[in-house]
Amino acid sequence: MKIHIIKIQMQIFISLFIYLRLHPFSYTYTTTNSP
């Protein structure tokens, strides 16, 4: 059960990392404009 949760977290982390690599400008834009 724990291994399954870890796999899901890794998939989310990898997908998020890829998203940030593909959209670095939008990422910085949202972070700088966040309250």
Q: How far is CA 11 from CA 4, 6, 30, 33, in A?
A: 11, 9, 23, 27
pLDDT, position 3: 82
* 2-9 contact pairs (CB < 8 A, 24+): none
**E-assigned strands of 1-35?**
none
**pLDDT > 90? residue 27:** no
Residues 17-33, mean pLDDT to the nearest whole number: 70
C-alpha torsion sign, points 16, 18, 23, 28: positive
The pLDDT value recorded for residue 1 is: 72
Using the 8-state DSSP alphabet, how is residue 34 labeled? -
Tokens of 35: 């309250």
For the full predicted model, state whether its pTM sits above 0.95. Answer: no
Q: Confidence class of residue 9 from pLDDT cuts 50, 70 and 90?
A: very high
Tell whether the model's pLDDT for residue 34 goes beyond 60: no
Residue 35 has pLDDT above 60, yes or no: no
